Each structure stands twice: as C-alpha cells, then as structure tokens.
Structure 1
Amino acid sequence: MDTTRQQKINRLIQKELSEIFRKQTQQMRGVLVSVSTVRVSPDLGIAKVYLSIFPSEKAEELLENIKINVKTLRFDLGQKVGKQLRVIPELSFYLDDSLDYLENIDKLLGKENNSKDE
C-alpha cells in the first residue's frame, strides 16, 4: 500500500515523463509511448516506470533505446521536478503489456462468439 506522498510522487513522475516522451516521439510518425503506471519505492530512491508502446511490434526496440538513454531521461526529469523533489529517483523501465493481453482476450471472445453464431 503506497503512502499519500508516494502516490503524489507517482503521479508527478508519470505526468512529467509522459510529457518528455510526447515531445521526443513527435518527430517519429506513428509511434506512441505512454506512461501507464509509476511505482516509487518507500524510500523514494527507485521508480519503476511501466510504458505502453504503440505499435507493439516496435515495443522491444524502443524499450531498449529508452533503457540505453535512462541517464538523459533522469536528467530531463530532474530539470522538471527538481523544485518538488530533493532526490530524483533512479528510473527502471518495463513494458506494460496489459493492452496486448486485453486485445488477445477480445480476440478469443470474438472467436468464441462467432463459433456459437454458426
């Protein structure tokens, strides 16, 4: 269970990282990177960032590029939230595949409904 402070920092980091990714992906047509969830550790030293990347075929490649450039992203985040946070947490990025999971469930349910109609 996150404390109120953790929840506020989660939302702050999510908002600012979303803005950073939006600006960076503007040049890349047809690519969308959104920050679905941020979870900060109780000591506020580590932030796990879950990303949803569209199209999902490019997800692994983009996630690797993001992990390579994690220091730059942390610096950019520090420029934006430096006044609110004393220490900028270490960022670790993960792929949020929950949308793919939901899409797969929809496909399976669609197949089931089509077979019943026949």
Structure 2
Amino acid sequence: MAAKSVHTGPGPTQRQLRVGELLRRAISDILARGDLHDPDLSGRSITVGEVRTSPDLKIATVFVLPLGGMDTDLVIKALARSQGELRRMVSKKVALKYAPELRFRADTSFDQMDATRRLLDSDDVQRDVARGADGDALPDQDS
C-alpha cells in the first residue's frame, strides 16, 4: 500500500494557492456583476483580497473588504447568509471535485500595510536609514 502524501510544511501548497486564486477570481466576478440577491450586498463594491483553502480544498476562507472599509461586519454577515447561493455559482465557474464551504473574514491586510508604512516613516527609522546610507555605523554595530 502506497504511503499517502501529507503536507506538513508551514505554508500552503502550490495546489492550494492555485485553487485559492481561481476561487478569488470567480467570487470577485460574481460580486462585481451583482449576481447575489441580498439587499445588504446590492450596489456594494467588495474587494476579495485573498482566498485561503484547507489542504483538502473543502474549506475556503475568503478575505473581503467593502469599498471604503465601511459596514464590514454587515457585508460579512450578508455573504455568510448567501454562502449556499455563492457556493453553487462558484462551483459552476471552477471545476473542482467538491465545491468548498465558504467562510468569510474581514481583510485586514490594508491595515497592516498602513501600520508598516507608518513605522517606516517614523523619525527613528528614517534616522537609522540615513545613517546607514551615509556610511556611518548603525547603532547596533561596532566599528
């Protein structure tokens, strides 16, 4: 009997990444066209930043953010209510053995990018970068 391959590494496999991107595109297209019949989603522009799949591809976590970041909780609840309808639509667009269960989460990557940008723009970091560019020893280096 052949040994079953189990992914135990820290990150997703190429297959998970590929399927996640296919799902992201399909969900984005469905939301952009306004195919879901939910009044809380009607006329809203929703960004699908990323879709992460479980190793068996049966669960897909969809990271979304409404335009302007307003009413995120309302949008996530509306998407969760429409999960069955969206799942059927996605299964017609993406050929998979199983249509994955969709779970929706707020996309916080934009907040993380803003925090990183603020940190990089801080006086301390700018001072250290300037000192390093001038050839002076950085504070943690002995020269």
* TM-score bracket relative to the smaller structure: 0.7 to 0.9
Mark the runs of 5 or more structure 1 residues left unpaired by the alignment. Answer: 114-118
TM-score normalized by the length of structure 1: 0.77
- Residue 22 (structure 1) aligns with: 32
Determine which structure has the larger helix proportion and give its number.
1
Q: How does 1:98-109 map to 2 (within 5 A)?
A: 98-103=109-114
Q: 1:92-118 deviations in whole A, cap 9, x for unaligned? A: 0001123245446767988x78xxxxx
Determine which structure has the larger strand proportion and give its number.
1
- Residue 101 (structure 2) aligns with: 90
RMSD between aligned residues: 2.5
SS in 1 for 2:74: helix
TM-score normalized by the length of structure 2: 0.65
Partners in 2 of 1:55 and 1:5 — Cα distance?
32
SS in 2 for 1:42: coil
Partners in 1 of 2:15 and 2:113 — Cα distance?
31
Q: Number of aligned pairs?
A: 108
Q: Which one scores higher on RCO, CA 8 angstroms, separation ≥ 6?
A: 1
- Residue 136 (structure 2) aligns with: none
- Residue 5 (structure 1) aligns with: 15
- Select which of 44, 62, 75 maps to 2:75: 62
Residue 78, structure 1, aligned to residue 91, structure 2: yes
**Cα distance 1:11–1:69, how it changes in 2: closer, same or farther (>3 A)?**
same
SS in 1 for 2:97: coil
Partners in 1 of 2:117 and 2:58 — Cα distance?
38
Partners in 2 of 1:106 and 1:52 — Cα distance?
20
Residue 37, structure 1, aligned to residue 47, structure 2: no
Partners in 2 of 1:41 and 1:104 — Cα distance?
28
- Residue 116 (structure 1) aligns with: none
Partners in 1 of 2:59 and 2:111 — Cα distance?
26
Identity %: 28
